[in-house]
Amino acid sequence: MASPTLSAGDTGTPPAVSFAEAFRFWLKLGFISFGGPAGQIAIMHSELVERRRWISEKRFLHALNYCMVLPGPEAQQLATYIGWLMHRSWGGLVAGALFVLPSLFILIALSWVYLRFGQVPVVAGLFYGIKPAVTALVLHAAHRIGSRALKNAWLWAIAAASFAAITLAGVPFPAIVLAAGLVGWFGARRAPQVFALGGGHAPGAAPHAPALIDDDTPTPPHARFSRGGLARVLGVGLALWALALGALVAWGGWQGTLAQMGWFFTKAALLTFGGAYAVLPYVYQGAVESQQWLTGPQMIDGLALGETTPGPLIMVVAFVGFVGGWTRQLLGPDALALAGALAATVVTFFTFLPSFVFILAGGPLIETTHGKLGFTAPLSAITAAVVGVILNLAVFFALHVLWPQGWGGRFDAVSALIALAAAVALFHFKLGVLPLLAASALAGLVVTLAAPTLLS
């Protein structure tokens, strides 16, 4: 039976948490983790630090600081870290996997509905309203990250340079990340104040009662660093990756769709600095332009679906995989849904495997010190570059939504009005993502039923 929620006046140390109780919490979290990384981290902070007191504020933020400097979804990595700290490697694997699996199953179902019934007027009308809202969401993300990251003229210059590089010169996203990291690394030696990492999520106040894992709680034996432990984790992680990719190559060849998806999303996982919006341009470059697993408008629709489901937004890659597996007919024309589900699962595996390795391998090193982490200067520069990349993504979405037939075609004034209304709702009225998408979908449905030619 789950332990009761601790009250503010309860000053005793919480009882030990069983693996089964932790399992139930991580499963619940997987279904309620809406709101992007900030919202997901706030939920974990409220539940784990304030209500249940499984971990103290200081230890929670220490783990979060580490997750923030890693590529990948920081909220999922934070859940993995806390699960690992409490219940060894299996605890971390369960916490991280349950953060993702509900979203995977929901997205597989929604992707099937999208591809099976997407041409039905009602469904098409809903997406007609959602696409402009997604454009506003991406623009809002650029503003939100930029307001936190661009603290001086140097960081603004990095953001502008990254926007120009990817928009005008078509520089690949990995090259932009590498260049920005190098600028931060060298720049910190001459002007460390320029690249000092500010902010963070830092939710809540200091705890007023002991936690199960408190500030002065010794690191448990399984979380202590050893070279042998580090080698085992790295070896197992690399072996799993190699075996999975090797099996896909043996099945369909190196140029096969699944093998190419595994290789591509491994690289994407290692480049996800600054959140899912940052890596989406890279996913677009590879999945839409290069591999042609899906179209640009389908990419926008996939992002809309990702925004409406729990879990990390990077789970939009499951939609990319599903559409690619479906359109390539990997298992033949009579098993399109199964092919899509298989590709979505493959993509999810390769996207999240590095996150587990980062936590299980790096966690013991981080537990050796509870001070501030280094390497924040390259992260500051990368985050600044990410702002420019996300702005490029907003421009790309706007062009596809407002000129659906191409730059020389007609201008969609109705979509422009929906996008403008969505932007006002986000920037001025601080409307949440789900209410925004619901209202935009309803507006799109009403408009298209009244004027069906808008869908042509």
Contact assessment for residue 126 and residue 438, using Cβ atoms and an 8 Å cutoff: no
Sort 242 into a burial class: Cβ within 10 Å, 0-12 / 13-18 / 19+: exposed
**Distant-in-sequence, close-in-space partners of 167: CB < 8 Å, separation ≥ 6:** 392, 395
Structure tokens at 195: 């690249």
> Residue for token digits 């790295």?
234
Beta bridge partners of 213: 55
Quick one: how far is CA 436 from the chain centroid? 20
Residue-level pLDDT, tens digit, the chain, 456 residues = 344 455 445 667 788 999 999 999 999 999 878 656 766 887 888 889 888 999 988 888 778 768 877 888 888 999 999 999 999 999 999 999 999 999 999 999 999 999 998 767 777 788 888 889 888 888 887 887 788 778 889 999 999 999 999 889 888 777 887 898 889 888 878 887 787 654 344 444 444 578 899 888 888 999 999 999 999 999 999 999 999 999 999 999 999 999 999 999 999 998 776 667 777 888 888 999 899 999 988 998 888 888 778 888 889 999 999 999 999 999 999 999 999 999 999 999 999 999 999 999 999 988 876 544 445 677 678 778 878 887 887 888 788 889 988 777 889 999 999 999 999 999 999 887 778 888 998 999 999 888 877 766
This prediction's pTM: 0.76
Quick one: how far is CA 355 from the chain centroid? 11
